[in-house]
Copies of this chain bind each other. A is one copy, B any other.
């Protein structure tokens, strides 16, 4: 019996994807070889890589628009470094919406002057700053679309003429928007896309090659583009499972189809958080609430033991909040069924009856 997996990441993946991945470890494409035992330059694996890249662009509606997709190693944390190495000549503007944005700022500071255009640090990042100005002379603007730890999500991205970079690690492929407003999007795989160990990077090629520094090969997007993500051996298994998950999403009807389900899940849980007298949401402004990670607390902590027992008994996994917020965090990534959210909501109602 599978758990109801609300883990913040690495997190739930579609069961059909896990089934195929498990089989490929023993026998991939009927080669009588494991997926992880073959050359990454064999046709069978090159097809996987090409398919993963092309599905990414297709699902985001970015084919034939000057974008390239890469699958590299290192997680979003390595992109904090790569972005600055490739784009930061003098100044960059960053929006500070929490832990991950902060880390991106810290690494980029090694390469140039950083302007923090706005920050929600004053209230422990429980809202998304608005009405800030992006200076026109910066090399690029960087933001984090969804803040896993605090449970906030950007709903209106700023309009700007400067190069726009977005860390979408925790909400890529979860909602529709005009992705062509961004020049560079990156996302660690381990939320909506696949297992930990690979990062998707989508780059508008024309923004590259404009800094004067010599970039080490492994940090240079142009090197990786010229080698089709095969400058060195890629993370074969994480890329393969990402491809399977992207195929699953396409078969389901793409981002517009999953967005409807994600909206239902978020509406179900947030309406219970707001209705239930025992709970309160962490995020100050309802419009900033993340549809991926709902953060909430018990108003009276004395109920926590009972609540914890109830959800664990119901087969729920991964509901504890991050230490910097406390309370609870229900991560509702693409692969989480509506049914799991219903189980959680039932437990919240049961707690209220018992209280």
- Listed in ascending order, the chain A residues whose CB lies under 8 Å from chain B are 1-3, 5, 7-13, 18-19, 21-23, 25-26, 31-34, 36-40, 73-78, 80-81, 103, 106-107, 110, 188, 190, 194-198, 214, 216-219, 231-238, 241, 315, 317-318
Task: Tell which of B2, B39, B77 touches A10, judged by Cβ atoms closer than 8 Å.
Answer: B39
- B33 near A25: Cβ-Cβ < 8 Å: no
- A233 near B22: Cβ-Cβ < 8 Å: no
Query: Which residue of B is nearest A213, CB measured?
Result: B110
- B78 near A218: Cβ-Cβ < 8 Å: yes
Task: Tell which of B25, B33, B74 touches A317, judged by Cβ atoms closer than 8 Å.
Answer: B33
- A188 near B233: Cβ-Cβ < 8 Å: yes
Task: Tell which of B37, B106, B197 touches A217, judged by Cβ atoms closer than 8 Å.
Answer: B106
Copies of chain A in the complex: 2
Question: Contacts A22-B23, A26-B18, A34-B13 known; A40 to B233 CB distance under 8 Å?
Answer: no
Set of chain B residues within 8 Å of A39, measured between Cβ atoms: 7-10, 318
- A236 near B7: Cβ-Cβ < 8 Å: no
A36 to B11, CA, bound (A): 7
- A81 near B218: Cβ-Cβ < 8 Å: yes
A62 → B minimal CB distance (Å): 25
Chain A interface secondary structure, helix, strand, loop or mixed?
A: loop
Given contacts A10-B37, A77-B231, 14 further A-B contacts (CB under 8 A): A7-B37, A7-B38, A10-B236, A18-B34, A18-B37, A32-B315, A36-B195, A36-B196, A38-B317, A76-B232, A81-B216, A195-B236, A197-B198, A238-B238
A37 to B107, CA, bound (A): 28
A324 → B minimal CB distance (Å): 14
A32 to B198, CA, bound (A): 24
- A233 near B9: Cβ-Cβ < 8 Å: yes
A104 → B minimal CB distance (Å): 11
Interface centre among A11, A32, A36 (most CB of B within 10 A): A36
Task: Tell which of B2, B32, B216 touches A1, judged by Cβ atoms closer than 8 Å.
Answer: B32
A136 → B minimal CB distance (Å): 28
Set of chain B residues within 8 Å of A235, measured between Cβ atoms: 73, 196-197, 235, 238
A196 → B minimal CB distance (Å): 5
A-B contacts, 10 listed (Cβ < 8 Å): A1-B32, A10-B233, A18-B26, A75-B232, A107-B217, A107-B218, A196-B237, A197-B235, A197-B236, A197-B237
